[in-house]
Structure 1
């Protein structure tokens, strides 16, 4: 009643499929059409199956699948593409194939895409970049196809080749390692395959056998090497081709082989070869020329040994012996041959009585059986002829043994003499008036003499070793540790330098508790140390008494010195005070005499004026003396402050002052630069000024005066010198030079008060230095001083 348009498909029981379409009519009613679409449905189902198969196939590909049109848009891709790249479907639709590559790889892929559209197919290996920036190597394919709409497109697959690249890298590395190993071998090596071609060899192979470089190429025929050797005489005189055929036949059926071959150049090569499971063989070549020479040298050495030597293998057969063995043991020459059984030697010895009386076979059997259970041994045996033989035997790691034989007849006699000598020596030690002990290197005390027992009270049972001695003789742990360390060090040094043990003084506690001062020393001899104890207790007691007396005397000297210093200080203070107080009356005397001369000169006769002049000269002289006394006192009173002083600069300043006051004088100055000292700057200036003024004064009569100031190293100290070519002095009066107011020259000839050199002496004494002078009358003087 209410008809609506409709369309539906219905499958009939017979399998046919109808397409039913119904529509309403304008005036009411309806019209319905029925179409048989069975074939169409079958065809569509077939298409769906093929499509589903293709999609399943694409999704099943282990790599990535892509379909790209000529504009570079992705038409289709598999799910693995999204998984690998991290892109979503939306991002894939907007992506371009080149977005997944960078640099040279991007350029390569662009070229290969163009090649596919141009030629139909192409492949490439490139690093494929994911959304996260990770790059992995991929093998990519491309093939041109035509889409349903007729447009060309590129279809292809990509496979992750990381593992393949790694495998290739590993193979290349292993190949390189193998080749490097071959080249690093000290042996030559060659590998020949089943077809008798050289598949591998190293440089050492060519060097050892002198093959040319062109033969080292891989794949060379074994026959070529055989022919080359035959032609140059490596195998001796032979028919070349016949020899080559013989060697090829041997190579076709390789067997393990080992031999040594002397080459024409004199070198000896050891050849070892072994067949390979799949045919062919490997051969090594070793230059054993030096080894052969060493073998001969060893034989010569063995035969020149002072000892006999024999080596037997695990089967008790002779391997090697030297001639000295035959001589010492007096075996026949026939026994020299390698392989001679040990039993033959034993029988020979038993038959000639080396082992004393008894059944020969029993003696032999006993020794052979004992040797089969060989143990290291060392023994001395006396032979029937009276000689003593020392026999030492050591087992070998792989069985067998090595033995040495030495004629020790003289040594045995010497040891007997030594034992007798030691017995005599012990008797001497026992009777020695000094305490003595013999200590072995393992610390055991081998012997202590009677004097030591009496001195310390310890018997041998009380101190069997050094450990017991340390504890008993030095009960205080701290002191014991110090003594042990010091004594051990002294012994070590003495042994290393092959000299006596240096003596040291120690406080040793005796068994009764008393403490004695001992001077302990010793001598290392062989594997023992002879220790001697000198009791210096009484001497040390006397030394302590003397030291206490000396300390008392030194204290008295210090007290007396302090008293003298105080007295001198008072005297200097008094001198300074007196000199200072004399200035006032002296100024008055000088002033009034000056007024008297000016105002009353006309009233005085000639004698009066002369007396007045003498008064004024004396007052001037007295003023100078007072000034000098004050200067001398000031040197003694001034506080000493040491700083760095450049004496050269001080001397130059004084020189300028002297030249300003007497510009007409001709003086040649030689002042060494940078004479540095640590001294009080004021006193240092007074020192240099008085020395230079002294030189300036006593060179006044020289037309060309010379004044020098220098320094030099003498006896580990710096000695300074002021030298001039002036009046000089007589060395007989040198002791008066540095005394106050002492003059060695006429005051009319050289003015002065005689206080300058006294100031020099006092300045240097305050600095802990020294001063002395040398002079020759008429030839000059030199003043030397030190400033520590």
Structure 2
């Protein structure tokens, strides 16, 4: 009854005696390992079965006698063992053996082919998923590195765990050098003073954006916009935050340029709208005042009333012309101009009005010429030199220089002084219409605006380099 029950098992079973002769083998063994029935009879020696298996490729390629000797020697040790082997037909068998108390050993053969196939499919699926994840990470890293923004991730201890290439390069480091560093080991003290309150809010799970000016290690100072987005655990607890910083310097410059253009357009509309009527009125006033000077014999009346009125009328006409020039509603009349000769003429014109202790020097490199409106150029030079003189109230040196660039054909004119200079707030407003650093009724605040308008209309550029002191 016991043997009949063993024959119904789904596993192959063998029993060998101490002399390595077969005592029992169930029918499932014959079917599972492909053993001839004659070899499955009691009394068959273990070595005979092993030799048959080796000869039929059950143990793979190799020397048959060597494979038999190895397996017989292992059997004689009567040690517990478990191994797997794949038959030539692809069936995978687990072989588990253990010694018997009275000598010999029992062995169980289990078909694990389906299990191994499932495991192989699972392994292959994991490998595919791992490869897909690796490729996905590579794509995300590529995207992060190509995005025109600095990207970083800080954990709850405010330690960098990831930065993209652009973020690292901005601070003069490699992307591999930053992870593991704290924020204050990468960002400057000045930057940390500005961003620390925002980082603290981000650590609480708040999403926020802010603009700031950042001075980078390479000396660049850029206007930036930073976005902070929280990262949370599955339960919603903040565990860090992402940082994305974008350079908005050009955007702000464009916005400022647009605002300036809108101001100029408004000024142009205002100026051109009233210029005709205003000039007519000034012509009538001047036409009536001028004959009175010849008819009135009272010197005091002329000096106190008529001459100031005439000067004011003429100044009004000049102011209107400057308004039209600033608004670019007055057409330019360009001609070939000897820049060196024009500068010398203007300097000699202005020199008598310089403050005591102020000297002016002219430096002309070669014989530069330019195709510009002569009158507007002279007015612009007068404005620049007078402004330089005003900056040297207690004495100083003014330098007016010009040189031509043979490659581009452009001419650079420099008006420099060693006066008191101006701060950043003043520098940003210096070209705005009606803005002036001086007081008094003789200051219209249009001089530098007119210079910029003239140079721009002449396809040139104006640059200002100044600092207090």
Report TM bin, short chain. Answer: 0.3 to 0.5
* Larger radius of gyration between Structure 1 and Structure 2: 1
TM-score by length of 2: 0.37
Structure of greater relative contact order (alpha carbons < 8 Å, 6+ residues apart): 2
